[in-house]
């Protein structure tokens, strides 16, 4: 667990990895397919930063049919990259996730609506129907909001 925390800190702050005694295998499950938002994980691996820290890191790409919280709950990964709303929804369902790092200053998840709805602030969402591009987004509970999935096959947002 200590090495996973070192890994998270190094990925978040770009710190050099040091201190691990023996190579430990660590599997990182990405939220989506390999692309620019995950470049730091791949660059760290290709430059040998994980190896220097005694970590043998495997990076697994995600996709529309991959739910990182289910992967980690099933033992398929040691660390997952996920949207905070999805992670919180998974915790509410009993998945024992621990937030070890925030790699982005703010979430790229945004709620938008047509101008003619009159919705200007979050409290205006009361008793309104919310939709997301995919069930994997797991929009968190909104008091008084109803949630619906508008397109179960659409990919989740690719950048944060």
| CATH numbers and ranges of domains, the chain | 2-92 (3.40.190.10), 115-149 (no CATH)
What is residue 136's predicted lDDT score, i.e. its pLDDT?
Answer: 44
Is pLDDT above 50 for 148?
Answer: no
pLDDT in tens, 36-93: 889 999 999 999 999 999 999 999 999 999 999 999 999 999 999 988 878 888 999 9
- Helices 39-46 and 2-13 cross at an angle (nearest 10°) of 110
pTM summary value: 0.59
Among 119, 113, 83, 110, which Cα is nearest to 99's? 83
* Angle, alpha carbons 106-130-138 (nearest 5°): 55
Among 35, 159, 39, which Cα is nearest to 108's? 159
What is residue 25's predicted lDDT score, i.e. its pLDDT?
Answer: 95
Among 11, 13, 36, which Cα is nearest to 160's? 36
Which H or E run includes 148?
A: strand 146-149
Which whole-number Å values give the CA distances from 37 to 69, 88, 134, in the listed order? 19, 21, 19
Cβ neighbour number for residue 107 with a 10 Å cutoff: 12
DSSP state at residue 16: P
Task: Please give the average per-residue pLDDT across 120-145, as a whole number.
Answer: 67
- Rg of the chain over all Cα atoms, to the nearest angstrom: 18
What is residue 81's predicted lDDT score, i.e. its pLDDT?
Answer: 92
């Amino acid at each position: 667990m200590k090495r996973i925390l070192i890994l998270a800190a190094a990925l978040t702050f770009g710190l050099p990895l040091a201190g691990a005694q023996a190579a430990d295998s660590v599997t990182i499950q990405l939220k989506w397919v390999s692309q620019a938002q995950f470049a730091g994980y791949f660059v760290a691996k290709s430059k040998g930063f994980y190896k220097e820290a005694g970590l043998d890191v495997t990076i697994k790409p995600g996709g529309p049919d991959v739910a990182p919280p289910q992967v980690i709950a099933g033992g398929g990964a040691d660390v997952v990259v996920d949207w905070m709303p999805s992670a919180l929804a998974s915790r509410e369902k009993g998945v024992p996730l621990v937030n070890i790092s925030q790699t982005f200053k703010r979430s790229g998840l945004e709620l938008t609506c047509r101008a003619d709805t009159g919705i200007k602030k979050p409290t205006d969402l009361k008793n309104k129907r919310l939709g997301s591009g995919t069930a994997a987004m797991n929009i968190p509970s909104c008091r008084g909001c109803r949630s619906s999935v508008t397109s179960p096959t659409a990919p989740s947002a690719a950048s944060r």
